[in-house]
């Protein structure tokens, strides 16, 4: 038996706006836009993707699952994401080498430290 990771589903009050934000943040392409759904991928035929679906309620508690990203330059990437509309998030992490941010709907994600040569 084989499994292929297709996508991560992200509940959203406004899937189009949030999907567009993530597409810009990641430099990904839009592969599906229907009422109540917005899908992005790294490239048209490359998996996995992110699928944003509509839910009526706003996010209220810490994510049970979150994405981690490893940039070439952590400081520059955090500044770029903040300029796009992310914000710092405190999930009780304390002083760590990663930075916890939240997207415009409050979903936490981490920007890890840059890889050392």
pTM of the model as a whole: 0.90
Token code pair at residue 21? 């934000």
Least confident segment among 6-10, 54-58, 76-80, 112-116: 112-116
Tokens 């955090």 correspond to 78
Is 83:104 a contact under the CB 8 Å cutoff?
A: no
The predicted pLDDT at position 8 comes to 96
DSSP-derived letter for residue 25 is H
> What phi and psi values does residue 65 have, to the nearest 5 degrees?
-140, 140
pLDDT averaged over every residue in the chain: 93
What CATH architecture is 66-117?
Roll (3.10)
User: Does position 70 have pLDDT exceeding 90, yes or no?
Assistant: yes
Tokens 């699928």 correspond to 51
The predicted pLDDT at position 33 comes to 94
Residue % of the chain over a pLDDT of 90: 80
Q: Which CATH fold topology does 7-55 show?
A: 3.30.720
Start-end of CATH 3.30.720 domains in the chain:
7-55
Interatomic CA distance for residues 111 and 71, integer angstroms: 7
> What phi and psi values does residue 45 have, to the nearest 5 degrees?
-110, 25
pLDDT tens track for 6-56: 999 999 999 999 999 999 999 999 999 998 999 999 999 999 999 999 999
């Amino acid at each position: 038996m084989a499994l292929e990771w297709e996508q991560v589903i992200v509940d959203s009050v406004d899937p189009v706006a949030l999907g567009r934000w993530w597409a810009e943040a990641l430099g990904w392409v839009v592969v599906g836009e229907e009422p109540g759904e917005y899908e992005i991928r790294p490239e048209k035929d490359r998996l996995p993707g992110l699928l944003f679906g509509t839910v009526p309620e706003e996010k209220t508690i810490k994510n049970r699952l979150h994405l981690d990203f490893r940039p070439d330059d952590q400081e520059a990437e955090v500044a770029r994401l903040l300029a796009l509309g992310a914000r710092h998030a405190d999930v009780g992490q304390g002083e760590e080498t990663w930075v916890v941010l939240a997207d415009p709907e409050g979903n936490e994600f981490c920007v890890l430290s840059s890889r050392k040569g």
